[in-house]
Structure 1
């Protein structure tokens, strides 16, 4: 297991675990439990006792981050997992399960029975005690533990379910990805802000709507829009209006979110398309013509594409392709693209 993180009076922590390698499974659960107890703590969520078959074959890869009383776990379970029959233990927290692959079955109160979160779905509920659960093998999921103060009155005894691809869930996913990347470097104020934004977006998921007047949510909204841009980059319909519609916000709210992080929506789209076009210019197989690249990346024509490319990179597409090819075929360079020093030969004398 690999652990890393920064402790801010116990307010933050992060660890990663991988017991999917051959021979790692027998110690996999112990490694995961040590990481959780050391970096996250039982005060956030008490891990249950697991069944003997789970203990012997615990093949899980994932990362977990803590921000104050909240925790975010991104998990891939290669093996099926199951808790002991009677987990026991009192808790008071909000749990969110977001399943991308496989299924996660949760024990519930007698009146409700078991509940299964299938691939492409999420479930949010209040937990007053530790409950049993089991997962299928090859599970890919996100598990969030959230403090109950704000969310418990909102949920009550309800169990909220929905699509893992809903607009609100996209925002929450973008935020959790950002937290995983930055939490080790956050100071106390940053940890507090991260937790507050996480709770606000969890409220949006539970309500099924986004509070676009909440300024702390702007970075998460901008990141969710960027993720969507990267998936739809060649789509001729890609625009601020389409992004706003997909994320269930107004176009004005989307523009405000980008402005808050110092960017513009249309500029981001154009720069991402230019970057991909530049990569295509030097692709080893089957280069497209300038007019073909312009059409593929939704520029009006070859001339418009060329002007935009030169303004951004300082060279026309043709000049860039020629200069890259010349550098590759330089006498000081090996046909593989490596220079003398890189392939073990002595460097030329001065």
Structure 2
């Protein structure tokens, strides 16, 4: 397990755990619990009592980040886990479970049955007490703990469920991923903003719509849009309008979010396509022609592609391909005798 940078006031913390390596499972739960208590703390979420078979076989890999009263865990569990109800385990928080693979079964509130979150689904609810849960083996999931203040009045006693790839969940997932990569370097203002943004995005999930006048959500919206664009760069219908539809926002909202972080949607798409075309031009074999690359990456024709490429990289595609080939050939060519490193001559080892 590796931990980094918990602030003295406990406002942030991050740790990683990997008990999937051979021989590490018996101490895996201890390391996870130690990391949680040190970097997150029981005041955010009290870990439950795990069953004896879980204690002996706890094979989990993941990262956990804390920002103020919120925590995000990305977990990949090879083993199944089971916990028990804790008498007097009162809590007041909102929990979200986003399952990509496997299943997570949650103990229901008094008078209600268990609730199972299957692969491709999410569930968010208020927790008033620590309840038992069970996870399947080979689980991939994201678990969020959130402060109840603004969310409990919105949720009430409801359990909100839905698809994990909904527009609102894409935004929340993008923000959670950004927090994981930046939390260790965030200052106090950044930590507070990160928690506030998580809460706002969870509101969007609960309402089924995005608050397009909330400026703090712009980074999450742009990240989610970029993730979709990166996966669909070669598709002819990739456009700001398509991205806006996928994220359930207006085109104006999408443009405004990109502008807030100093970018433009169309510029991002064009530069990413040019980058992929540049990689293809440097490929050692099977290189497409300029016209084929232009068609593949959705440029109007070869001349438009050539102009855009030269403007961005300072060379035409043909010039770049020649220079890349020459550099590759020079790197592969054997050094002349007078340039060989010492001790590598023909007589070495004689």
Shorter-chain TM range is: over 0.9
The TM-score, its normalising length taken from structure 1, stands at 0.94
Q: Distance in 2 between matches of 1:4 and 1:230?
A: 30
1:71-100 per-position Cα deviation (integer Å, ceiling 9, x unaligned): 000000011111136565111100000000
**Unaligned stretches of 5+ residues in structure 1:** none
Displacement of 1:329 in angstroms is 1.6
The answer to whether the Cα contact below 8 Å between 1:81 and 1:137 also exists between their aligned partners in 2 is yes
| Aligned-residue RMSD, C-alpha | 1.7
The answer to whether the Cα contact below 8 Å between 2:240 and 2:265 also exists between their aligned partners in 1 is yes
Q: Distance in 2 between matches of 1:304 and 1:72?
A: 45
Displacement of 1:8 in angstroms is 5.1
Find the residue that maps to 2:96 and give its secondary structure.
Answer: strand
1:181 aligns with 2:177: no
The answer to whether the Cα contact below 8 Å between 1:72 and 1:144 also exists between their aligned partners in 2 is yes
Q: Distance in 1 between matches of 2:332 and 2:95?
A: 56
Displacement of 1:283 in angstroms is 1.6
Moved over 4 A (4+): 85-88
Q: Distance in 2 between matches of 1:134 and 1:320?
A: 56
Q: Distance in 1 between matches of 2:9 and 2:2?
A: 22
Residue 323 of structure 2 aligns with which residue? Answer: 323
Displacement of 1:109 in angstroms is 2.1
Find the residue that maps to 1:283 and give its secondary structure.
Answer: coil
Taking a change above 3 Å as real, the CA distance of residues 277 and 87 of structure 1, as seen in their structure-2 partners, is farther
Taking a change above 3 Å as real, the CA distance of residues 307 and 3 of structure 1, as seen in their structure-2 partners, is same
The answer to whether the Cα contact below 8 Å between 2:218 and 2:257 also exists between their aligned partners in 1 is yes
Q: Distance in 2 between matches of 1:151 and 1:319?
A: 57
Q: Distance in 2 between matches of 1:106 and 1:248?
A: 29
Q: Distance in 1 between matches of 2:56 and 2:271?
A: 50
Q: Distance in 1 between matches of 2:192 and 2:234?
A: 38
Residue 192 of structure 2 aligns with which residue? Answer: 192
Task: Give the stretch that moved more between structures: 86-95 or 162-171.
Answer: 86-95
1:22 aligns with 2:18: no
Displacement of 1:111 in angstroms is 2.5
1:241-297 per-position Cα deviation (integer Å, ceiling 9, x unaligned): 000011000000000000000000000000000000111111233111111111110
The answer to whether the Cα contact below 8 Å between 1:108 and 1:114 also exists between their aligned partners in 2 is yes
Residue 334 of structure 1 aligns with which residue? Answer: 332
The answer to whether the Cα contact below 8 Å between 1:228 and 1:243 also exists between their aligned partners in 2 is yes
Residue 142 of structure 1 aligns with which residue? Answer: 142
Taking a change above 3 Å as real, the CA distance of residues 2 and 223 of structure 1, as seen in their structure-2 partners, is same
Residue 4 of structure 2 aligns with which residue? Answer: 4
- Aligned pairs for 1:1-350 (under 5 A) are 1-7=1-7, 9-84=9-84, 86=86, 89-330=89-330, 333-335=331-333, 345-346=341-342
Find the residue that maps to 2:15 and give its secondary structure.
Answer: strand
Q: Distance in 2 between matches of 1:53 and 1:238?
A: 49
Q: Distance in 2 between matches of 1:345 and 1:66?
A: 51
Taking a change above 3 Å as real, the CA distance of residues 241 and 8 of structure 1, as seen in their structure-2 partners, is farther
Taking a change above 3 Å as real, the CA distance of residues 346 and 218 of structure 1, as seen in their structure-2 partners, is farther
